[in-house]
Structure 1
Amino acid sequence: MTHPLRAAVLALLAVGVAAAASAQAAYPQSRVTLVTHSSPGGGSDVFLRELARHLGPTMGVNFAIENVTGGSGAKAMATVARGKPDGSVFYATTPTYIQTTLLAKPDVGYTALEPVAILFEDPEVVFTRAEAPFKTLGDVIEHARRNPGKARWGAANPTSLERIALERMSRRMNVKVAVVPHEGGGDLMINVLNGTLDIGVGEVEELKGQLQAGKVRILAVFSDKRMALLPQVPTAREQGVDVVVRKFRGLAAPRGVSPEAVKALEAGLRKVLAAPGYQKSYTESNLVPMMMGHDEAVRFTGEVATDIAQTFRELGITPR
């Protein structure tokens, strides 16, 4: 390489390095706390730790995870709402923080926080035991129709999105079915496997072990479109059941959060979601990217809250 050409290349590299350093230094905080209501090892905890592992180097920020358990998210929401709106603290959002607010009516609810990004959809699927006679969602509904009062469907807990989905499916398909809530996914799985329940609803990650062992069969996904890792599984809508569950994972901040912090965070999130290393990680966890920036996240959260509130009223969980 000639000296002039080498000098030009080095100059370009220097500009690139300087630009990268500038991009990393753009975020207004060097340390950021990510708060979750989950205990260590829980869904949101795992989500945040894996996100931080990839996002930290991308943004040049030191992310710390803080687990604030209790009150089904109420304590964690209050912790973040009291924080400074300077981009130094965020809350890991899921529909739980909306449900907790509507049901428990804590002093600090989801409206005290400002949605800044929605990153993923966490699809919910309908599953049955492998030996069950059901091959489609239509088979399940037809069984319930022909055996009134005998069909049993299962959900993780009384006010979960899973139960809401099953109650909606029952009403929209005009079948009377007992939707049985459980203390958790483990108890639900036992009752599906032993035939006490015809079907259950859960996340693919929770079913992975039983799927690999060939003990369960997935009949449908409650999403707008099929899952990339399970393209053979049709959506509920494709099978004539107009039910969609919007379980999301995102971030929210104290009200009035700095626009500069929001803009820089969004840029970092978009970049890390496209990074091969993180793509491999979230794809293996069956998370579907649905990146929404601040304005979209605010609209989306409001729509989900309206939908959940209406459903709670329809089911008699909250007053009309």
Structure 2
Amino acid sequence: MHSQKPRERRMPSKIALGFAAALAVLAAGSATAQTNKYDYPVTTVTLTTHSKPGSGSDLFLRKLSKALSEEMGINFVVDYWAGGSGAKAMAQLAKAKPDGSVFYATTPTHVTTSLLSAPPVTYKDIDYAVNVFFDPEIIYALSSSPFNTMKDAVEWSKANPGKARWGGSTAGSLERQILERINSASDAKATVIPQDDGAALLINVLGGSVDLGVGELQELNSYIEAGKVKVLGVYYPDRLAALPNAATIQEQGLDKDVIRKFRGLAAPKGVPPATIAKLEKAVQAILANPEFQKEYKADALVAGYMSQADYRVFMANFVKEQEGFLKQFGVTQN
């Protein structure tokens, strides 16, 4: 009697695998929708940024989307509306449906773009929903730099008028404002050189084209840990837990007031207050979550919750400050 050969196992086809994956995605989406803890009006929310993948805003939104998805039981996804330093994103947001399905990551950039470039759609055409974090700025230099603090850099610049080269990102950026304020207040007589963006600035600091730069710890941390750059000062009212030995600019006597870089969410005009209230409640919940706190504190982000009402007031005051800076220092688009 002949024994039967064992039947060969057939590998699933790519079509079958794709179909199974699609079913898994649909099942996950359905499960998420069924666990809508806040009774939010939509089950998928898009968080957009005008920045590129890997930027500070991108990292902020990725952390935020994950935390909000888990807290609210709905889907949050990140999308990129790059172009025009926020001009394109504001235009897209302004025409989006005001149902709580789309929000835009706000930083000072969209305000300075509105004031300097006067695009067809500006900050006046969108609404502010909630602020989440403040993002302290770090002044840094090459590890081989003779400066150990920003005060050292200022003193050297005063002793060598016109020779210091400080890199300050784009023309109206907060990073440039920080250096212009220090330069003016201390009469350092340094040359503040605008850069295309934070990445270009870092390259020029590493290459020695500029003596120092300003950036965020999220972007600089790996270079600090690798010993390539060192911190000269922290531009924030308090020292950071992640950098306990780095003195603030105020401690160094270089600036009395500190402009805080914010990270929040803007919405199309007309989103119902009840919808915004649910988002406000969820943001407060995740900021109080110990696991999420470990994540954002590791990146030196500071919880900066503001309700819609408070955020609107904050932004109105911020716009006035920006208008004053641009006028005082004669900053233009170029």
Q: TM-score, normalised by structure 1?
A: 0.87
Pairwise mapping of residues 38-49 of structure 1 onto structure 2 (< 5 A)?
Answer: 38-49=51-62
Which residue pairs with 1:75 in the alignment?
Answer: 88
Aligned to 1:293: 307
> Whole-Å Cα distance in 1 between the matches of residues 72 and 203 of structure 2?
43
1:156 to partner: Cα distance? 2.1
| Structure 2 CA distance for partners of 1:41 and 1:138, relative to 1, 3 Å | closer
- Contact 2:98–2:271 at 8 Å: present in 1 too? yes
- Match of residue 191 from structure 1: 204
Question: CA 1:240–1:100 in structure 2 vs 1: closer, same or farther (change >3 Å)?
Answer: same
Q: Give the corresponding residue for 1:158.
A: 171
Relative to 1, partners in 2 of residues 1:101 and 1:277: Cα closer, same or farther, differing over 3 Å?
same
Letter in 2 for 1:267: K
Map 1:4-19 to 2 at 5 A.
Answer: none
Alpha-carbon displacement from aligned partner over 1:258-292 (angstroms, at most 9, x marks no partner): 11011110001111112233222222222111111
Please tell me whether Structure 1 or Structure 2 has the larger radius of gyration of its CA atoms.
Answer: 2
Q: Does 1:240 align with 2:234?
A: no
The residue aligned with 1:95 is 108
Give, in whole Å, the separation in 1 of the partners of 2:59 and 2:145: 33
Q: CA deviation at 1:38?
A: 2.1
Pairing 1:171–2:184 present? yes
Deviation at 1:166, TM superposition (A): 0.6
Hey, what's the Cα distance between the residues in 1 that align with 2:220 and 2:119? 33
Normalising by the residue count of structure 2, what TM-score does the alignment of the two structures yield? 0.84
Cα deviation for residue 40 of structure 1 reads 3.1
1:25-75: per-residue Cα shift (whole Å, max 9, x none)? 432222222222123333322322221112112112222322222121111
Unaligned runs of 5+ in 1: 1-20
2:227 to 210, 214, 219: 214
**Which residue pairs with 1:13 in the alignment?**
none
1:149 to 159, 162, 179: 162
CA distance in 2 between partners of 1:209 and 1:64 (Å): 26
Once superposed, what is the RMSD of the aligned Cα atoms? Answer: 2.0
The answer to whether the 8 A contact 1:124-1:202 is kept is yes
| Partner residue of 1:132 out of 133, 141, 145 | 145
Residues 71, 197 of structure 1: alpha-carbon distance in 2 compared, 3 angstrom cutoff: closer
Verify the 8 A CA contact 2:35 2:74 in the aligned structure 1. Answer: no
- 2:110 partner amino acid: Y
**Count of residues in correspondence between the two structures:** 299
What is the alpha-carbon distance in structure 1 between the residues aligned to residue 143 and residue 81 of structure 2? 39
- Matched residues, percent identical? 45
Secondary structure (helix, strand or coil) at the match of 1:250 reads: strand
Q: Say if 2:171 and 2:331, in contact at 8 Å, map to a contact too.
A: no
SS in 2 for 1:239: coil
Distance 1:39 1:60 in 2: 27
- Counterparts of 1:313 and 1:48 in 2: how far apart (Å)? 32
**Residues 153/112 of structure 1: CA separation in 2 closer, same or farther (3 Å cut):** same
Partner of 2:281: 267
